[in-house]
Structure formats: structure tokens, C-alpha cells
Amino acid sequence: MMFELARQRLAPVFNLLDINEEVMIRLSVPKRTIVANIPVRMDDGTLRVFTGYRIQYDDTRGPTKGGIRFHPDVDMQEVTSLSFWMTVKCAVAGLPFGGAKGGVTVNPKELSLMEIERLSRGYIRAFADVLGEKRDIPAPDVYTNATIMGWMADEYAMIARRQEPGIITGKPLHLNGSKGREFATGQGALFALQEYLEHYKPSSEQMTIAVQGFGNAGFHFARIAQQCGYRVVAISDSQGAIYDPKGLNVLDVHRLKQEDNRLASVYCDGSVCNELDYETLSNEALLELNVDVLVLAALENQITEQNAHQIQAKTVLEIANGPVSPDADQILEAREIDVIPDVLANAGGVIVSYFEWVQNRSGMYWEEAEVEQQLKKIMVKESQSIFDHAKKHKCSLRTAAYVHGVERLAGAIDQRGNHKLFKSV
């Protein structure tokens, strides 16, 4: 069902573009689907077997690229949908990659750190034959991080009997990671938002922002946005949300979250954090706040046809993958609420992963300022192209983004030969 919803995004695009039918056929199904059972010895000596997935959706434009998530809801439908979105996202960003995704059905909160390491290394052993810096390059995703990517790269090196740092991106800095990768998704999303505001809603007033999801991407977006003068008034995690119309101290909220695993509005001075006045909300209530920008940085299908009519934000920014359902998209569009789509808004992560891959293969490493400069250059360029498509086709930003990406994919597919070419021979 989830994959069918993802493919619905293509229907309006094919209506706008004059593309060969073979492009539609190629993009309607993944190229390769691999499922593996991963045995892990637990700390108490028992053996558990976890199901792992790797979907390589399309490699027409280059080796496939996509993260690995550890989550209890991971299944074939989810991973296939995510690999499809990665295919479009890499094309939207103009990267020489196809799309892939991986995952393990597991609740990592129930595992010790050593059990997570065994699972991470077991994942690479299970899928090593289909990975490679010229074939398929994983990266972190939900509940995976730089440390896990370092374990995975190390495991691959032991299997291959050689160092091949370009096999994995999102690695720790001292294990051939890239400067700027940790906050790339949040930084890229802010670049996309700023371009959007400049084109559509120029204003000198302080923008109010609510952020659903306070993981790596959501935190860094909120942190950088606040530094740029935006007022972050609400933040949520899986347990609930906090709200203060005067604004939250993002760094202090994050510090308390790391120390006590809870959200609260606080002011920290040295080692002491004092709580400030704030309201507690449900995640559902956060979505319905009257703010300028609602940032979705959690999981899929957060806005659906059931709650789309209650959304009061003027603009929705998708940092998560697929947080707005196709039915909700239509409702928001009818209500003139713009959605800055995931395939553009969260492309910063894969763009800087590309930079890391380039640095690993060349052996020349960039300073953080250069990474940020090159990220901004790509985000601004591709954002402007999407806004031009939206104006030309009189369509939503999502449809414009898909038009932009599918045009590139169609060009690569057609230039390898199609029915029209061979029929003329």
C-alpha cells in the first residue's frame, strides 16, 4: 500500500511530460530486491534473527545510493518506497547516483550498544555481495548514525581485505567522513526554505516555525534556523511536544533532551538548566499550530486526509520522507498551503554524502566552509529550477520537483535506447 502511494506521485508528472512509455515501465518497479535473515548473538547468550532489506531501485544514472534504517516498522513496502524516493531525489539534485534504501526490522532501543554493533556488522555480511563504492553506497537513516556507519565500513573492509572508505557515507570524521555531514540535511532544508521564501513570500517579519521530530535533521534545522533569526516556537519528539509562542532556546532544549531524555523549555547557564514557562502538546496538536512554517522531520504519513483540513501553517517543509500523503497533498494545495517536497527539502544529506564519496575516492578532503558553499550552490540551483517548473506548468512544488527529476531520469533511460530508436533501425 505504501509503495502504491509513493508511485501515485508519478501520475501528474507523466501527464505533463512527453516521455517514452518505457520510462514509465522502468520507473514503476525496483531493479533489485534483496531480503536477508541476520543472526545476532545477544548479550545473554541467546540467538535472535532479524530481517534485513536492501532495495536497489534504479541505477540508470549511476551507482545506487541510500540509507539504512533500524526501526520496528521496517518492511518491504516501506523500504521500496524509500528507494523510489531516493531515485527521484538523486535526480532532482543532479547527482550521478541512482536510488536505493535498506533497513532492519528491529527496535534498537531494546538492544545494547554491543548488540547494535553485532547487528550492524551482520547487515554488511548479509549484503556485502551487492554493495560497493561503484555499485551501491549506504548511509545513515532513522536510528542509525555515524558510529554505526563506521562499524559497517570496517566490516566491509575486513570482508574485502582492503580499505574502501567510499563504500559507506556518513562515517565519523576520523574514519574518512566528511566535515559538514552531520548537519547537512538540516542545513540543506534551510537553504531550500530560504529560496522558497525569497521567491514566494518575501518578508522582513520574523518567521515562526514548528518542528515535528527532534532527531539529527530536525535538531540541526531548528538550531541553524534560530541562528538565522527565525523563531522556533514548538518542537516535538516521539513522546510529545512543547510550545512557547515567544520562542524556544533550541540548543538548551537539545541539551536537556540529551541529558534527561525529555523535552522542556529551558535556559542553561553553565552546568545549570532552569525550566521556563511553556505548554505541553501532543504531536497531533503541534501539526495544527498557526505558524508560518510547519517542519515535518519525523516519519511518513504525518499529514493525511484525516487531518489535512486542520493544518493552519502557511507553508509545510518536508524534511522526513513522505510525511504528507497524496490525498493530503490535494487538500493542502486546494487550501493554498505550499508544501516544499522531501525530494528537494531533505536532499542536503545525500548531496553531502556525495561530497564524502568524492573525497574518499580522490583522497582530498574539504574544509567545512567549502562543503557548505558547495551544498548551498546545488540547493539554490535546483530550487530555482523547480520553482521555474512550477510556474511553467502551473503545478504544485512537489509535481514540479518530480518533473525536474523525471526529466533527468527519462533522458538517461532514453539515451540508452528505446523502442522508438530500435524500430527506426
Residue 425 pLDDT level (bands cut at 50, 70, 90): low
The pLDDT of residue 7 is 63
Range in 45-54, 122-131, 202-211, 291-300 the model is least confident about: 202-211
Tell me: pLDDT of 1 over 60.
no
Portions of the chain given CATH number 3.40.50.10860: 2-8+30-175
CA atoms within 13 A on the CB side of 59: 16
Q: What is the mean pLDDT of residues 178-194?
A: 95
Higher local confidence (pLDDT), 408 or 414 = 408
Residue 25 pLDDT level (bands cut at 50, 70, 90): confident
The pLDDT of residue 4 is 66
- Tens-place pLDDT, residues 254-280: 988 888 888 887 777 777 777 788 888
Instruction: Show which residues are catalytic.
Output: 101
Higher local confidence (pLDDT), 108 or 424 = 108
Q: Determine what percent of the chain is predicted with pLDDT higher than 90.
A: 75
The pLDDT of residue 66 is 96
Q: Which cell numbers hold the place of 140?
A: 545513515
Task: Map grid coordinates 575516492 to a residue.
Answer: 361
Alpha helices in 161-231 (DSSP H): 184-200, 216-227
Tell me: pLDDT of 319 over 90.
yes
Range in 39-48, 184-193, 279-288 the model is least confident about: 279-288
In CATH, which of 3.30.70.100, 3.40.50.720, 3.40.30.10, 3.40.190.10 is domain 184-345?
3.40.50.720
Tell me: pLDDT of 383 over 90.
yes
CA atoms within 13 A on the CB side of 29: 6
Portions of the chain given CATH number 3.40.50.720: 184-345
- Tens-place pLDDT, residues 120-170: 999 999 999 999 999 999 999 989 999 999 999 999 999 999 999 999 999
Average pLDDT, the chain: 91
Question: Who's near 259: CB < 8 A, 6+ residues apart?
Answer: 273
Residue 2 pLDDT level (bands cut at 50, 70, 90): low
The pLDDT of residue 239 is 86
Q: State the sign of the Cα–Cα–Cα–Cα dihedral 41, 44, 49, 51.
A: negative
Number of helices (H) and strands (E) in the chain: give both, helices first: 16, 14
- Highest mean predicted confidence (pLDDT) among 21-35, 88-102, 272-286: 88-102
Task: Map grid coordinates 553485532 to a residue.
Answer: 118
Q: What are phi and psi of 131, to 5 degrees?
A: -105, 165
The pLDDT of residue 301 is 87
Alpha helices in 100-145 (DSSP H): 113-127
The pLDDT of residue 405 is 93
The pLDDT of residue 119 is 98
**Topology (CATH level 3) of domain 2-8+30-175:** Rossmann fold (3.40.50)
* Burial label, 113 (beta-carbon count in 10 A; 0-12, 13-18, 19+): exposed
The pLDDT of residue 73 is 94
Task: Map grid coordinates 547468550 to a residue.
Answer: 45
Could you give the CA distance from residue 105 to residue 392 in angstroms, rounded to a whole number? Answer: 43
Q: What is the mean pLDDT of residues 94-112?
A: 97
The pLDDT of residue 232 is 96
Q: Which cell numbers hold the place of 294?
A: 510547519
